[in-house]
Structure 1
Amino acid sequence: MTPSRTPQAPWASVGWLLATAWALSFPLFSTLGPHRLWGCCAAVGYLAAAVLTVRSPRAALAASLTGAIAVPLLWLVLSGQGQSEVTVIERSGRLLLETGRLYVDHPAGVEEYTPYLTGMALFGIPRAVLGGPLGDARLWCAAALFGGMLAGRRLLGGERSGLLPLLVASPVVALPLVVSGVDLPLAGLLCLALAAAGAGRPALAGAALAGACALKWTALPAVAVAVALLAVCRGRGPAVRCALVAVLGSAALILPSAVLQPAELLRQVFAFPMGRAEVPTPASSPLPGHLLAELGSWGWYVTAALLVLGGLAVAVSLWARPPRTVVAAADRLAIGLTLAFALAPAGRFGYLALPLLLSVWARSFTVADAPATASRIVARSPGTTAPGKPAGQRA
């Protein structure tokens, strides 16, 4: 058994201080109330963690979790505050229960747009059923994230490295968990899908991918990555099964909305995030794609072409050098998502938290045992030529 590893105190202190500086930027520069509140609370928690980590890493972690998650989340949930995404998710859940539809017909303003697919509405249903703080969509989104990450780790059986609690306490997870929660279920399902693919569970991987694709269309690259991982470690059959479950499952979840409201699905889920709807999207961070799109119609088409080229480049990399471990698969997916978010006509810096989360999560338990994990996976694969070498791999 490999002992759990935690960062050395000096480096941990530096990390907490960097997190403090990042948190302080929100009350200084953000105009959003939930962001400013989170920044104030998190800065106190991170600063306390930087001081405490020299003597007690556990106390430092507790201070960071308290300041960055517990206090601001409790305050915002009880006061009914949050980013507009929370209201959007909860409205779609209420509409789904009451009418069977997800989208407001002919939305007049940005607050009436729902840029998500069917699955996201499920996290808004608790508000309609339970009401009160327990129905807040952020709590259920967080539960999906933690469930996916922990189930993925259990599938692979890796040793704990101490990175997972730090990841949860970091701004990468803490900020979206507290203020919106919208990307957390997607992250949890992608973690579960990659872990299931790495453990040789194609049906489970496909089901997790179907769930992810039913939340946001940005989950589509994960299907190619998981299928490539299964193909190289398990063979063509499991890869095809995974792809079929993912495609058919996604279709079953999305088609009802597409049949009932095809125009709104196209307008709100595809045109709006791409900056082609009647109402401009508020996602406008100065990333390359947005800057190009701002130059006019030709700039938008250049951005769209770059997006396609970026997707093709990742697809070619999966064919030429497929990932052979969960860490490599998470990194490849992170690269693809980073390219997509950077080149999208409309995007936010916050979107980049998802690729970072995937890469860190994969390392939170697999780094120490990566060779053993890979050997176990290949050893159970049909048609291998030698331990650790899939059939057809050159020596």
Structure 2
Amino acid sequence: MTTTPGLLTRINQAAGGLAADLALYSLSAIFALVTALTSTLLPHRAWGAIAAVGYLVAALVVAVQLVLRKPVRRATLTWATWAAVTLLPLVVQAVQRAAGRTDRAQEEVLVVEHMGESLLHTGTPYLSRPEIAGIALDERLLGYRPYQPGMALFGLPRAIAGDHWWTDARVWFALATVGALVVAVTVLLRVRGTDFSLVRALQAATVLPVTSLTLATGGDDIPVLALCLLALALFAAGRHTASGLAVGAAAACKLLAFPVVAVLLVLAVATGHWRRFLPGALGLPLLALLPPLLVNADALIENVLRFPLGHGLVTSPAQSPFPGHLIAQFLPGGRYLAAGLLVAAAAVIGLLLLRRPPRDAGTAALFCGYGLLAAILLMPTTRFGYLLYPAAFLVWAYALRNHTASSAPRHDTALYRQ
């Protein structure tokens, strides 16, 4: 029995997928150009000046393919475009920064590198509250490190080898991202082969402007996202132990990965694979927390709990005009109201997870996408860039939706019957 493709599917597959590619790269070129001309953040302007050319060249390549009606390896073009619009501006900014430019990295890059330095010299990546209080007021924000301990590993190269372009934390963010995405795509190709949805998923994790801009200028979210996507792909392929290790590594770096851990854990329990999944998924984050807890537990709590909750010596600058922030700022008792809405949303999603647990990686990705979208919109302090998480998860859900969360071989046609 055949079904009529939906509107989004027809748009996605028009002209062999090239029509949507042309729109993506053209709109991205406009976004990058506007960023280069109008952004108040100098690293963003520098990214836009280079990325606009990369996106434009990609759009021209697609346009030529449309005119000549010749097949194109769209995944290859995606990787090449990513190199042009993300890796090239990243390396250029890292080289300029190593030469003395102080406006070629966002603050999170400095924070991660400071974490690596502290870890190397003191055994913990965190400063205590008294140590932060001793920093000059206009620099005190950089004393806070609101990440999980694993993030400090990306700052170790600079702490060990000194100031070089290749010790820039963003370079190591990019290497981790490339490794995770290459493995994720390879795993999915072996299970099901290429299709439109897999190419779109790759584009969402690489050339989408919000993803590209984030990695080139700051970057700490992108390896975390890539590890979460790898965990979903590995679970879809039946590699449950490796999936647990991947998402556990993500959670060892950033708290935003813990909702993904929770969703995948429910999936693992529902499919009977939790014994293989659980050790890596929870073991790695707990192992990463052990040294900071032993060295200075209060410094850990100050950085990863008090500061994000608004109880630090300074407040977080993460303030995008989403509903949670607006409620917290402009309504009486708004912070408590926003927190209540966030808890209510979490409770609803948790109830749905328990009543109708996901049975495959695609459904789990949908839970991750919609759950994180709700959290980002309702958190009192958040960033526009965090939207890259739900965007990527929701697009990857379609690339994963035909998987069965089993390790059955691809030639088993029972898995693909309609």
TM-score interval, normalised by the smaller of the two chains: 0.7 to 0.9
CA shift, 1:21, in A, is 2.6
Match of 1:72 in 2: 89
SS of 1:275's partner is coil
1:142 aligned partner: 174
Whether the 8 Å contact between 1:141 and 1:182 is mirrored in structure 2 is yes
- Rounded Cα–Cα distance in structure 2 between residues aligned with 1:197 and 1:10: 32
Question: Paired residue for 1:98?
Answer: 121
Equivalent residue for 2:68?
A: none
The answer to whether the 8 A contact 1:227-1:240 is kept is: no
Tell me how far 1:304 sits from its aligned partner: 1.3
What is the rounded CA distance, in whole Å, between the counterparts of 1:244 and 1:20 in structure 2? 44
Pick aligned residue for 2:46 from 37, 43, 61: 37
Which moved further from structure 2: 345-354 or 172-181? 172-181
Residue 195, structure 1, aligned to residue 236, structure 2: no
> Secondary structure of 1:115's partner?
coil
Match of 1:287 among 318, 322, 330: 322
Residue 263 of structure 1 deviates from its aligned partner by 2.4
Check whether the contact 1:172–1:353 (CA below 8 A) recurs between aligned residues: yes
**2:5 corresponds to:** none
Quick check: 1:160 aligned with 2:191? no
Cα distance in 1 for partners of 2:77, 2:264 equals: 36
CA change 1:165–1:218 in 2 (3 A) is closer
Deviations for 1:68-97, whole angstroms, at most 9, x for unmatched residues? 124322220101121111111111111111
Matched residue of 1:55: which SS? helix
Unaligned runs of 5+ in 1: 381-386, 389-395
Which residue in 1 is equivalent to 2:393? 358
- What is the correspondence of 1:20-59 to structure 2 with a 5 Å cutoff? 20-56=29-65
* Aligned with residue 111 of structure 1, among 139, 142, 153: 142
Gaps of 5+ in 2: 1-12, 66-71, 98-103
Distance change in 2, residues 1:48/1:207 (3 Å):
closer
Residue deviations 1:252-303 (CA, integer Å, cap 9, x gap): 2113213323222222222322333221111111011111221377211111
TM-score by length of 2: 0.80
Whether 1:377 and 2:374 are equivalent positions in the alignment is no
Determine the C-alpha separation between the residues in 1 that align with 2:408 and 2:93. 50
Given that 2:26 and 2:56 are in contact with CA atoms closer than 8 Å, whether structure 1 keeps it comes out as yes
Higher mean C-alpha deviation, range 339-348 or range 40-49: 40-49
Match of 1:294, SS state, is: helix
Alignment-derived partner of residue 322 in structure 1 = 357
**In structure 2, what is the equivalent of residue 204 of structure 1?**
242
- Rounded to whole Å, the distance in 1 between the matches of 2:332 and 2:145 is 24
CA pair 34-296 structure 1, distance change in 2 beyond 3 A: same
Q: CA deviation at 1:350?
A: 0.3
- Identity of paired residues, percent? 35
**Equivalent in 2, 8, 18 of residue 9 of structure 1:** 18
The residue identity in structure 1 corresponding to 2:324 is G
Q: How far off its partner does 1:64 sit?
A: 3.7
Farther off after superposition, 56-65 or 189-198: 56-65
Determine whether 1:298 maps to 2:336.
no
TM-score, normalised via structure 1 length: 0.85
- The question of whether the paired residues in 1 share the 8 Å contact of 2:327 and 2:337 is answered with yes
Question: Any residues of structure 2 matched to 1:172-183 within 5 Å, and which?
Answer: 172-183=210-221
Choose the corresponding residue for 1:258, options 279, 284, 293. Answer: 293
* Equivalent residue number for residue 124 of structure 1: 155
For the residues of structure 2 that align with 1:190 and 1:305, how far apart are their CA atoms?
27
RMSD over aligned Cα atoms: 2.7
Greater shift, 29-38 or 168-177, is seen at 168-177
1:308 aligns with 2:343: yes
Letter in 2 for 1:163: R
SS at match of 1:284: coil
Shifted more, 32-41 versus 64-73: the winner is 64-73
> Residues 64, 228 of structure 1: CA spacing in aligned structure 2 closer, same or farther, 3 A cutoff?
same
* 2:302 and 2:312 in contact (8 A); partners too: yes
1: CA distance between counterparts of 2:79 and 2:235? 33
Q: Does the C-alpha gap of structure 1 residues 71 and 185 become closer, same or farther in structure 2, counting only changes over 3 Å? A: closer
Deviation (angstroms), 1:110: 1.0
Number of the residue aligned with 2:100: none
1:25–1:39: 8 Å Cα contact kept in structure 2? Answer: yes
Q: Distance in 1 between matches of 2:340 and 2:244?
A: 29
